[in-house]
Amino acid sequence: MSFNPVREVKLRENRSGYYPALKTGLQETTTRVQEMHQAIAGLSFQMLGWIPGLAGPVRLAQNTHDAIAGGVYAAIRQGVGGALTVADLLEPHAAAIIKTSAPTEPPSRLAVGLRSALNAVVGDHLHHSANPLAIKMGFYADGHRIPLTSAGLSAHLPQLSDRLCLFVHGLGCDEHSWQRNAVTDDGAPSQHYGQRLQAELGYTPLYLRYNTGLPVADNGQALAQQLQNLLGIYPQPVRELVIIGHSMGGLVARSAGQHAADQGLPWLRLTRMIICLGSPHRGAPLEKLGHQIAQTLHRSPVTAPLGKIAAARSAGIRDLRYGLHRIARPGHHPPALPGVALRFIGANLVKDPDHPLGHLLGDGLVTLHSATTPKLPGDVVTARLGGLHHMALLNEPRVYQQIRQWLAANPLPE
């Protein structure tokens, strides 16, 4: 087969990106194992060297051990790297051979979910290494990214209205998370929030997908620009914008509002309300615990390699330790957004929403104190619901009724 530069560029563009990510992960893991091996062996040789008359032989044995072990680990890294590099080169050629003329279908939910989870853990690395697995922020419908053109909006959102409701998912999730199965009080399958808000209050639902491994402030800045671009090509004047964010999504929405306020972006004037479901405004306890564990592991040369692994979590995950303080100046609370109402829902695993355990357990991931009492200035209202876990907030009748009550109160004039 003759060399075709155009074909080679297309093949490179079609690579999935899994092989480079796997190669980096395996090589880094091998390095951490080697560091731990060296630390343990070094302590053993050090203690043997304290025995009178053994310092010389021990030094020789240690040099020999280090040389052999270093060669073995280098061979493992090179072997793994070489094999995965070859696989990466062959993958697009194989894909080109088996490709048919059938219309392009969106990836399965399983594939999208796997990619979203990977972005949560190492999304910042994927982004900075230009790995094709890095998710680019965009609005999605039925698994397809919506082109920000009038034709693109009309094709993917045939029922456009002048009231928009944007849903922003949380860490490691994607837009499909809002379609989690739920049941109504009579046991029948329920519609998800977007469908019900469209049918009952006339909102056009929009769903964001983004790289949750990036810093919250970076995603907030990108969302602020995405909304500006959206309203610039929207086929009719927008009367109202509502943003509903789950977990990290609430922080990203709040950050986007702050960027819009700082830059004077017009879409903020249309934003009526930001609703946060289980968002860690005062930080997530699990990430705080993870930070403490990583710091503790670094204190010993034997466990320091494990500390490096623990510390390798993405910038997005690390930001959850700070909550809203990550988008404000040090020592300050984020200022109120002019004209924007803030609504917060927190959940308690205990049926009683005000049970004292709620301040400790919360919804299993975020405490009630963090989810509902951020002490922010401005129009802020909170609600607590009992007997719910963190992910149940995505599709649950009581949560929807609270959202609907807030949005139906004091409707905008026609």
Please choose, from the candidates 130, 132, 164, the residue with its C-alpha nearest in 3D space to the C-alpha of residue 146.
164
Say whether both 143 and 12 belong to one domain: no
Is residue 229 domain-shared with residue 348, that is, in the same domain?
A: yes
pLDDT at 412 (0 to 100): 60
Measured CA to CA, the distance from residue 341 to residue 273 in angstroms comes to 5
Helix, strand, or coil (residue 46): helix
What pLDDT shows up at residue 107? 78
3-state secondary structure of 226: helix
Prediction pTM value:
0.73
Identify the pLDDT of residue 177: 92
Q: Which helix (H) or strand (E) holds 291?
A: helix 285-297
User: Is 209 part of any domain?
Assistant: yes
Instruction: Supply the DSSP symbol for 409.
Output: S
pLDDT value for 46: 59
Looking at the fold, whether 25 and 145 belong to one and the same domain comes out as no
Return the pLDDT at 101. Answer: 38
- Let me know if residue 119 belongs to a domain: no
- 354 and 210: one domain? yes
Q: What is the pLDDT of residue 306?
A: 41
Same domain, 59 and 160: no
Residues 266, 346: one domain?
Answer: yes
Q: Is residue 117 part of a domain?
A: no
Helix or strand holding residue 193 (H, E): helix 193-201
What is the model's pLDDT at position 141?
92
Split the chain (414 residues) into runs of 10 and give each run's mean pLDDT.
Answer: 43 50 53 52 56 62 58 50 46 44 67 84 83 90 91 88 96 89 55 92 96 93 96 93 95 94 94 94 59 47 43 71 63 74 92 76 82 78 92 93 91 57
pLDDT of residue 35: 52
The span from the CA of 234 to the CA of 72, in Å, is: 60
Domain total of the chain: 2
Provide the edge-to-edge strand list for the sheet that holds 380-386: 144-145, 138-141, 204-209, 163-168, 240-246, 271-277, 341-348, 380-386
Q: What is the pLDDT of residue 249?
A: 95
* 177 plus 76 within the same structural domain: no
Shared domain check, 367 and 334:
yes
Q: What is the pLDDT of residue 298?
A: 42
Asked if residue 114 is part of any domain, the answer here is: no
56 is in which domain, residue-wise?
5-102
